[in-house]
Structure 1
Amino acid sequence: MGKNLLQKADIQIEGIRPWDIRIRHHGFFKRIMLQGLLGLGESYMDGWWECDRLDIFIYKFLAHKLDEAVPGYYSDIMMGLSGKILSRKSDDCGCSALEKEYGIGYDVFAHMLDPYMQFSCGYWRAGATLAEAQEAKLKMVCEKLQLAPGMRVLDIGCGWGGTAEYMARHYDVYVEGITNSTEEQKVAQSRCQGLDITIMLEDYQDLPDDKFDRIIALGALEYVELKNYQNFFKAVARSLKPDGLFLLHSTGSTQLVNHVGPWLNKYIFPNGCLPSGQQLVQSIEPYFKIEDWDNLGTDYDKTLMSWFEKINESWPALSMNHSPKLKRMLDYYLCSGAGFFRAGKIQLRQILLCIGGDGKTI
């Protein structure tokens, strides 16, 4: 990554504009040449370079197609900077890997997220604040699912229980949430106490034998390897009533990919995948018919930047228990992700599905 290349995107080294970068270590360029995208992210975490507006830096880099000019270094990043900061083991929709390595837990989420603890994209076209956008998202998905009192709903990858609480309180439905994180289960059970909600410690491979009227998965597919997509959709179809509806809320790439890039794979999203529309449809069609498909990438850009602002506002309190390197990792993830959504390299898809398919046995 040299000065001439960056100048094509109106990015300067040692410049004074918010998106210009400042080099703090003489080994920066060599590290990028040797390690590519992994080196870019790790060198930022190590304080080797600075940028006041990482989101604009990444956006300008992509908008001027510099990723295509140096595919050996930058093609991977556009396949992946939209994962989750607390990555789960692949295929479990719940257990946090970074929680074990960095000690990140509920305290970070509580400072970063909205009152419903939504760790997925909000709906900003119906909200002016993070809290309003996330509540609008919950209302929108419930309306798409056509929830009615007495229905049985399965929440795959239920997280901290905010979605389950919202559905039970506002639509008088029974919700069964599943997670592979013991901390998430404990918090969700406490949050949902007194409501018609059950929080189970399991993953999609062990879905209940019961049939549900509705199933929802907000940000769960990201943790399933591409080779297991059909197993995921087959398991969901088995648990859904013939006249039921399934809402999938998931990130994806605009290109055919099977990985998320070296930095995300190591720190954020191990073994994860951001599928293209084609890859996703090929996995869906044996088991479901597509009723509705929305793209909400611009909303995720705003969501990520709102999380970034909240983390920075809260860091004086969080810094007592978390390292500066973790802070830089959070900043790099959130701002880079926003830049990629802004450039249209990745998407947030909200897909409503019903039982259908090509006749394969479920």
Structure 2
Amino acid sequence: MSSCDTNSESTGDTYYRIFKELLSSANIQINGNRPFDIRIKNPNIYKRIVQQGSLALGESYMDGWWECDQLDVFFHLALAAKLNQEMPKSYKDILYIIIGRLINFQSRSRSLIVGKEHYNLGNDLFRMMLDPYMQYSCGYWKDAKTLEEAQLAKMKMICDKLQLKPGMKLLDIGCGWGGLAAYAAENYGVSVTGITISTEQVLIGKERCAGLDVIILNQDYRDLNSKYDRIVSVGMFEHVGPTNYSTYFKIVSRNLNPDGLFLLQTIGCNRSEDYVDPWIEKYIFPNGRIPSIRYIGESSEPYLIVENWHSMGPHYDTTLMAWHERFIAAWPTLQHNYSEHFYRMFVFYLNACAGAFRARHLQLWQILFSIKGVEGGLHYLY
């Protein structure tokens, strides 16, 4: 037993004992020898985490207070054991939940925050971490062996599900850096309009799609007012928020032709809760919310009919670990533009999310909708 363990137990440190018992229920040891055990660098961590919960867990890692060789496994074990339900929620978190029911955190003005603070982090970072099409969403790994193959397979699957044909007009809500728009225009002969609220994404998107039948706009989805044969939205719905779900689906239906199809790809949660992880909220995706099946069903029901619901959460675990591998490999080049604190934040983020998908704490759904129902239904081999 390490001196840190001995001193903590000999003094009857209540915070240490609580934290140790919590981790033990997930088969994780303090200062253990396994790669998923945590090594404590600052003994003040016990009080900090017990009092402040998951926010302190992430912040103390960013501060270098603890280490773990396999963070993804640590989070898989912790979430599989439902330690997140045991972690305390500070009064600030509870107050935030209450306020969130009264205030629209994803209003027009506040929706710009995530574009500024996350998607505008730097094109150098995302170019080196992502695949050549810069797909910042889950890939499809059924037959893929590399990140590029997985993202190409994902884009092909989306286009096939939408039954794209030459001459169709496709709207991409939250188009990112224009990768899917370019792929659809190049391979399916469709005319694409992509919208995003990130200025950095617009720059790359226009560059990528130059010479193609693609328009990339810096625009809020609430300003859409046209008609399209097909609509797609990948990895954007997480930023819409429960207050705006009904508005979102109403706008989609208003902009979709009567015989059109809409494909939504979104991360999903298992329970309909207002709670959001405070560390993710503060450092990664400000104002983000993960929808549940009930939230999606209730808000889309007045406007759209579900044709197909595809659950593929485990594919996100593989995607995130591929991003992590590329991020680590690129760090010697990136470190000149980013701090060590940022490095630890991003490593924590990628591994925590991978562990969450591996534990099935988070889900990934592709949902295909129509306006009035497709006669005979739609059948896919995916």
- The answer to whether TM tops 0.5 is yes
Distance change (3 Å), C-alpha of 1:97 and 1:284? closer
2:272 paired residue number: 256
Taking the aligned partners of 1:121 and 1:253, their CA distance within structure 2 comes to: 15
Partner of 1:270: 286
Question: Paired residue for 1:240, among 249, 256, 270?
Answer: 256
Q: Which runs of 5+ in 2 are unaligned?
A: 1-17, 94-104, 374-382
> Cα offset for 1:259?
3.6
1:117 to 107, 111, 134: 134
Letter in 1 for 2:336: M
Q: Does 1:50 align with 2:67?
A: yes
Distance 1:57 1:254 in 2: 21
5 Å-filtered alignment, 1:50-69, equals 50-69=67-86
Q: How does 1:111-190 map to 2 (within 5 A)?
A: 111-190=128-207
Matches of 1:215 and 1:102, distance apart in 2: 22
Q: Which has the higher mean CA deviation after the structures are superposed, 235-244 or 93-102?
A: 93-102
SS in 2 for 1:25: coil
Instruction: Indicate how the Cα distance of structure 1 residues 90 and 60 shifts in structure 2: closer, same or farther if over 3 A, else same.
Output: farther
Deviations 1:64-108 (A, max 9, x none): 2333444648xx9xxxxxxxxxxx976689846475589721000
Which of 242, 254, 258 is the equivalent residue of 1:226?
Answer: 242
Q: Distance in 1 between matches of 2:72 and 2:356?
A: 8
**Paired amino acid for 2:186:** R
Q: Which of structures 1 and 2 has the larger relative contact order (alpha carbons within 8 angstroms, sep 6+)?
A: 1
Out of 9, 15, 23, which is 2:26 matched to? Answer: 9
Q: Which residue pairs with 1:334 in the alignment?
A: 350
Q: Is the 8 A contact 1:92 1:224 kept in 2?
A: no
Alignment deviations for residues 28-68 of structure 1 (CA, whole Å, 9 cap, x no partner): 01111221111111111111110111110111112223334
SS in 2 for 1:10: coil
Unaligned runs of 5+ in 1: 77-87, 358-362
CA contact (8 A) 1:15 1:22 kept: yes
Structure 1's 103 and 348: CA in aligned 2 closer, same or farther, altered over 3 A?
closer
SS at match of 1:205: helix
Contact 1:92 1:180 in 2 (8 A): no
Alignment deviations for residues 194-233 of structure 1 (CA, whole Å, 9 cap, x no partner): 00011111011011x2210000000110111111100011
Q: What SS does structure 1 have at the residue aligned with 2:39?
A: strand
1:306 matched residue in structure 2 = 322
Q: Provide TM-score, normalisation by structure 2.
A: 0.86
Whether the aligned pair in 2 keeps the contact of 1:93 and 1:156 (CA below 8 Å) is: no
Check 1:96–1:118 CA distance in 2 against 1; reply closer, same or farther (3 A cut): farther
Normalized against structure 1, the TM-score is what? 0.90
Partner of 1:282: 298
CA contact (8 A) 2:306 2:368 kept: yes
Change beyond 3 A, Cα 1:92–1:108:
farther
1: CA distance, partners of 2:166 / 2:247: 30
- The aligned length equals 343
**In the superposition, relative to structure 1, how do residues 92 and 278 fare at CA in structure 2: closer, same or farther (>3 Å)?**
farther
Corresponding letter in the other structure for 2:240:
V
Distance 1:146 1:246, change over 3 A: same
Equivalent residues of 1:89, 1:96 under 8 A apart: no
Distance 1:99 1:145 in 2: 31
Residue 124 of structure 1 aligns to a residue in which SS?
Answer: coil
Which protein is bigger by CA-based radius of gyration?
A: 2
Looking at structure 2, the residues matched to 93 and 133 of structure 1 have their Cα atoms a distance apart, in angstroms, of 33
Whole-angstrom distance in 2 between the partners of 1:355 and 1:133? 30
Single out whichever of 89-98 and 12-21 deviates more from structure 2.
Answer: 89-98
Q: Which amino acid aligns with 1:204?
A: Y
Q: Give the secondary structure class of the aligned counterpart of 1:320.
A: coil
Shift of 1:27: 1.2
Contact 1:252-1:346 within 8 A present in 2 as well: yes
The answer on 1:204 being equivalent to 2:221 is yes
